[in-house]
Amino acid sequence: MNTIIEPAHAGTLESSDAFVRVIPIEEEGIVIELESSVCEIYGDAIHALVLETAQAMKMNKIRLIVQDKGALDYVIKARVQTAILRACGKTEPDWSTL
């Protein structure tokens, strides 16, 4: 399991993008707080995508705050991955897990 060393963020608040913050927490697991301009229709799908992305990177004890402005799936995924990498102090992902 990977834990992060510092809070980090990725993305912007502009339309069709997502702003992702990642913060270390004491408790076990992955906490996701999602706000989306398309929450009613895609909220569950985005939540699942964020969780899946964090799990694929074997993250634990993190809180992910996602402000989605109607971003496409791969944008959200990329923003989450980047935020987590920055929080871990890494510049390259483990490509084999993606």
List residues binding another protein (CB under 8 A): 6-9, 12-15, 19, 21, 23, 33, 35, 65, 67, 69
Of 56 and 78, nearer to another protein (C-beta) is: 78
Of 26 and 95, nearer to another protein (C-beta) is: 26
Q: Are 4 and 22 in contact (CB under 8 A)?
A: yes
Distance CA 20, CA 83 (A): 7
Distance CA 17, CA 69 (A): 5
CB of 95 to another protein, least distance (A): 26
